[in-house]
Chain A
Amino acid sequence: MIAGLLSGDAPRSRILSALLLAILVALALAPFLFPGTRPLDVAAKVCVFVLLVASYDLLLGYTGIVSFAHTMFFGIGGYGVAIALSRMEPGWGAIALGTVAAVALSLALSFLVGLFSLRVKAIFFAMITLAVASFFAILASQLSDFTGGEDGITFKVPELLRSRVATYYLVFGVALGLFLVLLRIVNSPFGRVLLAIRENEFRAEALGYRTVIYRTLANCLGAVVATLAGALYALWLRYTGPNTTLDFSIMIDILLMVVIGGMGTMYGAVIGAAIFVVAQNYLQEAMKAFSGAMQGIPLLPDLFHPDRWLLWLGVLFVLSVYYFPAGIVGQLRARKKA
């Protein structure tokens, strides 16, 4: 049954299995294991980013598509739910309508961008997606009557979701379900074609596969899942704004999570998102404690001052790329083979 749920794609490493199981249990029991608002907020963010990073890995890791428009689709999901809930009665109908409208818009945009741009070389596609995403971010900021501009939109949620625990389990359940769907997709014949395209597009074409169609489909699938992740994030925050969804720094975070976890493996998204989000939230505190313990020793307290947390995150990233080029998951699997 577990093999069926994982679509036959076992973690293939005991340490990785243990890590994944620990993350699953921690997320599933987060409201009970880690009481307080902040830990639950971190857990919800991990759930959302696992989904977002996994959907990006479908493009980058499985198909070899470098896109900078992923946060745009994330934002469309967030704004879809936020606009619907702020302008209609805050009920499930508004959530459904906002989500469906956002998914439809994302599908149309990703299809058009994919069909017209995936024929060009990877770097040009990346530039086009960057331009489209920037255009969308400016549009969201300028259409303030509709999107709330730089302030974003704060909204009410249905009665049931006013409990943080209930909202958390909605986020967790949908994220887990969609993650398993993505796992099924990448392990299907369609997923194998994507891998073949990533390795060599011309070889895949010589076998009769229309690679532009497959790449466009992957782009659309990634966009839809990112949109749903955006909708979940908005529901969790009860707010959507440029800083929480459309900011380019989020795109960089997604890239870092994919690389740290390991490209071309869905489990990499789980590991990468969990480590990154936890580090983002707790590294400063850990550094504060460390810096305090080092008082009296020259240089060290300054070096580990909490304000330098981004520097250390950068150092950790460089080291992980240098020593684990295949990401943590790739490294653990290779270790098992050796």
Chain B
Amino acid sequence: MAENLLSLSGVHTHIGHYHILQGVDLVVPRGELTMLLGRNGAGKTTALRTILGLWSASAGAIRFEDSDITQRDTPAIANLGIAYVPESMGIFAGLTVQENLVLAARRGPPEEARLDWIFRYFPPMKKFWDLPAGNLSGGQKQMLSISRAIVEPRKLVLIDEPTKGLAPAIINNLIEAFAELKKTDTTILMVEQNFHAAKSLGDSVAVMDAGRIVHAGRMADLATDDALQTRLLGLSLEAHQ
């Protein structure tokens, strides 16, 4: 059993008057890809943003490696080696593709080998290297957002719905890239609505509903256990089918 890189214990998050996370208990094993599933509004994005400190946890504890990061600010958390690919892609539209990637490389200029690896899976990044990122298509922006997260080795990558709104061909390309990324021992926590992509990539899985984790286990077990799927689908996953 892999040790846990990240763990959330009884995490609550309030946004204004709304109580979004209501005691989230989640573990992310080191070196694995953990899928976070759940219907819209279950609290998945809030969970990712709370881990990164973009929302403050009002109760509970978030531990990364051996440190308690619950009260740390976002730059401090990011500098521990945690990258974030937001649902809205979060690229800097006014900067070029190159500038977006260089900004994300905090340890110095990106390594050539790393860039070649990125270009292999996301050729438009090389093609539009000097173009403002705002000129890219939706799929290309998503590629840039992911490329930025992996432009240098990270300990943990938080990815929010990477396949949302993308064409099937691009989704297959992304799945291939994530499969390659998994081989580098990068730990990934991914929110995904596309159950096909989730099944192909996930090692472990956690399902959220109403601000809580209602199921956690191995992705393979969920993928092969019809009864479990039916129970969870009945509860919250009908949107994924």
What secondary structure prevails in chain B residues at the interface with A?
A: loop
Q: Pick out which of these stretches binds chain A: B72-80, B183-191, B202-210, B211-219.
A: B72-80
A200-223 vs B: 1/0 string, CB under 8 Å? 101111111111000000000000
Q: In the complex, which of the residues A195, A196, A200, A208 contacts B78, with contact meaning CB atoms closer than 8 Å? A: A208
Contacts of B93 in A (CB 8 A): 199
The reply to whether A196 and B74 contact each other, CB–CB distance below 8 Å, is no
Q: Is B25 an interface residue (CB 8 A)?
A: no
Taken together as a complex, chains A and B put the C-alpha atoms of A200 and B133 apart, in Å, by 14
Interface extent on A, as a size class?
10 to 19
Are A200's CB and B92's CB within 8 A? yes
A189 within 8 A of B: yes
Measured in the bound complex, the distance between the Cα atoms of B74 and A64 in whole Å is 20
Q: Which residue of B lies closest to A198 (CB)?
A: B94
Across-interface contacts of A85 in B (CB, < 8 A): none
A interface SS class: helix
Within 8 Å of chain A (Cβ to Cβ): is B122?
Answer: no
Known: A192-B102, A192-B103. A203 touches B75 (CB 8 A): no
In the complex, whether A16 has a CB less than 8 A from a CB of chain B is: no
Question: Is A234 an interface position by the 8 A CB rule?
Answer: no
- Asked whether A193 is an interface residue with its Cβ less than 8 Å from the other chain, the reply is yes
B142 to chain A, nearest CB (A): 15
User: Quick check: A203 and B78 within 8 Å, CB to CB?
Assistant: no
Assess whether B90 is in contact with A206, with CB atoms less than 8 Å apart.
yes
Residue of B nearest to A206 (CB): B84
Closest residue on chain A to residue B134 by CB atoms: A199
Asked whether, in the complex, the Cβ of B84 is within 8 Å of the Cβ of A208, the reply is no
Chain A residues proximal to chain B, CB less than 8 Å: 189, 192-193, 195-196, 198-200, 202-211, 264
Listed by A's residue number, 15 A-B pairs whose Cβ atoms lie within 8 Å are A189-B103, A195-B92, A195-B94, A196-B92, A196-B95, A196-B103, A199-B93, A200-B90, A202-B74, A203-B90, A205-B54, A206-B54, A208-B79, A208-B106, A211-B75
Residues of B within 8 A of A (CB): 52, 54, 73-75, 78-79, 84, 86, 90, 92-95, 99, 102-104, 106, 148
A-B contacts besides A198-B94, A202-B54, 20 pairs, CB < 8 Å: A189-B103, A192-B103, A193-B103, A195-B94, A196-B92, A199-B92, A199-B93, A200-B90, A200-B92, A203-B90, A204-B103, A205-B54, A205-B75, A206-B52, A206-B54, A206-B90, A208-B78, A208-B79, A208-B106, A211-B75
